[in-house]
C-alpha cells in the first residue's frame, strides 16, 4: 500500500531579511487584494460628463433668463408680508368666484387686470416650485451622500496614517499633523446655567 504525503505549505517570511518598513520589503507569498468596495461605504457611484454639465448649466441659464422677475426677500420682509398660505387653502378659488359674481363690491383701487395676472402667475409658480423642490431635494440628498462616501474613504486613510504615526513610520507624523485638524472634536466649555 502506497501512502502519499502532501508537503506542508511554507509559512510566509520576509524576503532578504529586510525590516518590515524598509525599502524593498515584500512577502514571499501572494495575498489577494480586495476587488470590491463595501456597498455601505459607497452610496452613490455616478459621473456627469463635460457635455452634460454644459447642458445642465445652460438649462439653469434658460430658467434664469425666463424668470427675470424673480425677487429675493429678507427674513424680516417675509415675516411682515401677508400671504396665501396652506392654512388658507381654496382662498384663490373662493375669492375669484365671489369677486366675479359681485363686481359692485370690489373697491375702485383694486386693479382687477393685475389681480388676474397675479393669479395666473401664482399657478405657474406653484408648478415650477414643485419641480424645483423635487430637483433640489434630490441634489441636496445626493450631495450629502457623495460627501459621506468621500468622508468614509478619507477617514480610513486618516486612521491608517494615525496608526503609522504611532508606530513611528517615517514621514507619517507630518501627514498626520496635516490631516488631524479635520477630525478635531469641539472642546468648548458649555455655558454656565443662569442662577434662578
Dump pLDDT digits (tens) for 3-40. 445 454 444 444 444 444 444 444 444 434 444 444 46
pLDDT band with cut points at 50, 70 and 90 for residue 84: confident
Judge whether residue 53 has pLDDT over 80.
Answer: yes
Q: Please state, in angstroms and rounded to a whole number, the distance separating the CA atoms of residues 182 and 153.
A: 13
Is 12:27 a contact under the CB 8 Å cutoff? yes
Beta-carbon count within 10 A of 3 CB: 4
Q: Is residue 129 part of a domain?
A: yes
Q: Is residue 120 part of a domain?
A: yes
Q: Alpha carbon 72 to chain centroid distance?
A: 24
Q: Structural domain of residue 104, as residue ranges? A: 91-181
Q: Is residue 101 part of a domain?
A: yes
Q: Which tops the pLDDT comparison, 129 or 14?
A: 129
* pLDDT tens digits, one per residue of 152-167: 999 999 999 999 999 9
Q: What integer is the mean pLDDT of 78-83?
A: 90
Query: Would you state the pLDDT for residue 134?
Result: 96
Q: Is residue 62 part of a domain?
A: no
* pLDDT tens digits, one per residue of 175-192: 999 999 999 886 444 444
- Residue 106's contacts (CB-CB under 8 Å, 6 or more residues apart) are 99, 112
Q: Is residue 195 part of a domain?
A: no
Q: Is residue 69 part of a domain?
A: no
> What's the domain count of the chain?
1
Query: Would you state the pLDDT for residue 89?
Result: 73
Query: Would you state the pLDDT for residue 122?
Result: 92
Q: Please state, in angstroms and rounded to a whole number, the distance separating the CA atoms of residues 141 and 173.
A: 36
Beta-carbon count within 10 A of 169 CB: 16
Is 92:119 a contact under the CB 8 Å cutoff? yes
Backbone angles phi, psi at 133, to 5 degrees: -65, -40
Q: Is residue 143 part of a domain?
A: yes
Q: Is residue 10 part of a domain?
A: no
Query: Would you state the pLDDT for residue 40?
Result: 60
* Beta bridge mates, 14: 27
Q: Please state, in angstroms and rounded to a whole number, the distance separating the CA atoms of residues 7 and 68.
A: 81
Whether this model's pTM surpasses 0.75: no
Judge whether residue 88 has pLDDT over 90.
Answer: no
Judge whether residue 110 has pLDDT over 50.
Answer: yes
**Hey, what's the cell of 94?**
373662493
Amino acid at each position: 500500500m502506497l501512502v502519499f504525503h502532501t508537503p506542508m505549505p511554507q509559512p510566509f517570511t520576509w524576503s532578504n531579511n529586510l525590516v518590515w518598513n524598509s525599502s524593498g520589503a515584500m512577502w514571499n507569498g501572494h495575498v489577494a487584494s480586495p476587488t470590491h468596495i463595501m456597498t455601505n461605504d459607497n452610496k452613490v457611484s455616478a459621473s456627469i460628463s463635460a457635455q452634460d454639465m454644459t447642458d445642465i448649466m445652460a438649462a439653469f441659464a434658460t430658467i434664469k433668463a425666463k424668470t427675470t422677475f424673480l425677487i429675493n426677500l429678507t427674513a424680516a420682509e417675509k415675516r411682515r408680508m401677508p400671504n396665501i398660505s396652506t392654512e388658507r387653502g381654496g382662498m384663490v378659488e373662493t375669492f375669484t368666484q365671489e369677486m366675479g359674481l359681485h363686481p359692485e363690491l370690489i373697491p375702485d383701487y383694486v386693479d382687477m387686470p393685475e389681480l388676474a395676472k397675479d393669479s395666473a402667475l401664482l399657478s405657474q409658480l406653484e408648478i415650477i416650485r414643485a419641480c424645483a423642490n423635487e430637483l433640489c431635494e434630490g441634489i441636496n440628498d445626493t450631495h450629502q451622500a457623495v460627501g459621506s462616501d468621500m468622508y468614509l474613504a478619507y477617514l480610513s486613510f486618516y486612521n491608517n496614517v494615525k496608526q503609522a504615526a504611532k508606530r513611528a513610520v517615517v514621514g507619517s507624523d507630518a501627514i498626520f499633523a496635516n490631516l488631524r485638524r479635520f477630525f478635531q472634536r469641539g472642546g468648548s466649555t458649555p455655558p454656565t446655567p443662569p442662577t434662578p
